[in-house]
């Protein structure tokens, strides 16, 4: 390994390298560290024409040294290597860094597979990087999303409001493009778990739910979409079960047609039901913090608080009675099978 001091003015950045996002504040921190301790790890360069050098890796350290106004820095001189070998070395170096984003990685894979100067296979790429074929494929799947969604994708598994982990976004990769990004944005804003995202993806991938129904569903919060998925699955099971056909003498009972393509979600009472459910919290439990806050209600507000609780209970009981009647009517519906 040959190390030599090279003037910064003779070093060029590699604009084609895999990593292109550099945080200014972290660059300044690195510059301060180099100022105090020196450049502990030399950057790696390769010779090019006119006595100049191009960076193989260490672009961030190079930028920090320029911020300090250094004249020259120690560099490792790369051995003779092809452009492909150098790009793979750059990629391997960056994959190990937490600041290397999943989208940067995905675009590097895409470049290696599609750029005429590389044109490697997925199998070759996986072998050279020591990764599985599935790992490469999942990274490439991130590029199915629009730029706005790609910018929200971050490394790691922590769910952050307004951001997306790979586990959160990947279940949506095969959803139709007209819903894919809108759902991904909803998932980011509502901090939806990856398991719940899988159910939402199944709902929007269902071929027997019409486009109009999916547009209607798209307006709902994620917790309600989960409820809709389970209701949809229950409805499918009911349809698959072949009921015993019996003659019914009571012609006053309402009829409902069951067809393969019926638009269940557009029925008025169904829309009203989902409208009410979407306005309710997904969980009914009151946390310890909420329960303990009762002690903060002052004595002069006690009567007002109790009256408000009574009003809520009365309202809920009214809704409950109405929906009990609706459920009774629904259970009496005579089913007419349509062939």
β-pairing, 11-12 with 2-7? unpaired
Cα–Cα dist 63/339, whole Å: 71
Q: For 5-9, 297-301, 331-335, which range has the lowest pLDDT when averaged over its residues?
A: 331-335
Asked whether the predicted pLDDT for residue 214 surpasses 70, the reply is yes
Whole-angstrom CA distances from 304 to 157, 293, 298, 316 are 46, 16, 10, 18
To the nearest 10 degrees (0 to 180), the angle between helices 194-205 and 177-190 is 150
pLDDT of residue 259: 47
Q: What is the pLDDT of residues 70-87, one digit of tens each?
A: 999 999 888 767 888 888
Sequence spans of domains, the chain: 1-100
User: Of the candidates 151, 219, 211, 229, which has an alpha carbon nearest to the alpha carbon of residue 183?
Assistant: 219
| Mean pLDDT, residues 283-288 taken together | 68
Cα–Cα dist 203/183, whole Å: 11
Asked whether the predicted pLDDT for residue 58 surpasses 50, the reply is yes
| Mean pLDDT, residues 221-235 taken together | 89
Which token pair is 55?
A: 């960076």
Q: For 154-163, 234-243, 277-286, 313-322, which range has the lowest pLDDT when averaged over its residues?
A: 277-286
Asked whether the predicted pLDDT for residue 213 surpasses 60, the reply is yes
| Mean pLDDT, residues 238-246 taken together | 61
pLDDT of residue 263: 64
pLDDT bucket at 297, cuts 50 / 70 / 90: confident
Q: For 34-48, 168-182, 223-237, 290-304, which range has the lowest pLDDT when averaged over its residues?
A: 290-304
pLDDT of residue 132: 92
Cα–Cα dist 294/59, whole Å: 58
Which token pair is 250?
A: 């009571």
pLDDT of residue 139: 94
Asked whether the predicted pLDDT for residue 281 surpasses 70, the reply is no
- The label of the residue with tokens 């269902």 reads 206
Of 279 and 328, the one with more pLDDT? 328
pLDDT bucket at 240, cuts 50 / 70 / 90: confident
The per-residue pLDDT of the chain, averaged, comes to: 83
Dihedral sign for Cα 41, 47, 53, 57, please: negative
pLDDT of residue 239: 72
> In whole angstroms, what separates CA 109 from the centre of its chain?
20
Question: pLDDT exceeding 70 applies to what percent of the chain?
Answer: 87
The structure's pTM equals 0.57
Cα–Cα dist 289/297, whole Å: 14
Say if domain 1-100 classifies as CATH 3.40.50.970: no
pLDDT of residue 283: 58
Q: What is the pLDDT of residues 163-200, one digit of tens each?
A: 999 999 999 999 999 999 999 999 999 999 999 999 99
Of 72 and 243, the one with more pLDDT? 72
What is the 3-class SS of 74-110, one letter each residue? EEEECCCCCHHHHHHHHHHHHHCCCCCCHHHHHHHHH
pLDDT of residue 20: 63
Asked whether the predicted pLDDT for residue 257 surpasses 70, the reply is no
| Mean pLDDT, residues 136-141 taken together | 94
The 8 Å CB, 24+ separation contacts for 22-27 are 22/59, 22/60, 22/63, 23/99, 26/99, 27/60, 27/63, 27/64, 27/67
Best mean pLDDT range from 97-101, 158-162, 210-214: 158-162
């Amino acid at each position: 390994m040959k190390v030599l001091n090279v003037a910064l003015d003779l070093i060029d950045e590699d604009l084609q390298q895999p990593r292109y996002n550099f945080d200014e504040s972290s660059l300044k921190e690195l510059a301060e560290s180099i100022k105090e301790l020196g450049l502990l790890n030399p950057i790696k360069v390769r010779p090019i024409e006119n006595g100049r050098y191009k960076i193989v890796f260490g672009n961030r350290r190079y930028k920090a040294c320029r911020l300090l106004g250094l004249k020259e820095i120690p560099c490792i001189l790369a051995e003779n290597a092809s452009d492909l070998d150098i790009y793979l070395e750059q990629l391997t170096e960056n994959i190990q860094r937490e600041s290397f984003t999943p989208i940067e990685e995905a675009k590097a894979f895409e470049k290696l597979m599609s750029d005429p100067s590389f044109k490697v296979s997925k199998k070759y790429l996986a072998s050279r990087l020591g990764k599985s074929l599935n790992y490469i494929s999942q990274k490439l799947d991130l590029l199915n999303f629009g730029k706005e969604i790609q910018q929200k994708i971050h490394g790691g598994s922590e769910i952050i409001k307004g951001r997306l982990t790979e586990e959160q976004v990947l279940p949506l990769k095969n959803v139709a493009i007209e819903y894919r990004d809108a759902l991904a944005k909803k998932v980011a804003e509502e901090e939806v778990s990856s398991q719940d995202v899988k159910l939402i993806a199944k709902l929007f991938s269902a071929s027997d739910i019409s486009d109009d129904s999916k547009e209607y569903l798209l307006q709902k919060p994620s917790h309600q979409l989960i409820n809709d998925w389970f209701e949809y699955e229950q409805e499918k099971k009911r349809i698959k079960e072949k009921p015993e056909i019996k003659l019914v003498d009571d012609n006053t009972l309402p009829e409902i047609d069951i067809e393969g393509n019926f638009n269940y979600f557009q029925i008025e009472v169904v829309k009203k039901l989902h409208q009410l459910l979407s306005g309710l919290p997904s969980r009914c439990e009151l946390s310890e913090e909420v329960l303990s806050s009762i002690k903060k209600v002052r004595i002069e507000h006690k009567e007002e608080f109790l009256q408000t609780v009574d009003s809520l209970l009365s309202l809920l009981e009214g809704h409950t009675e109405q929906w009990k009647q609706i459920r009774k009517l629904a259970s009496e519906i005579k089913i007419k099978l349509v062939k």
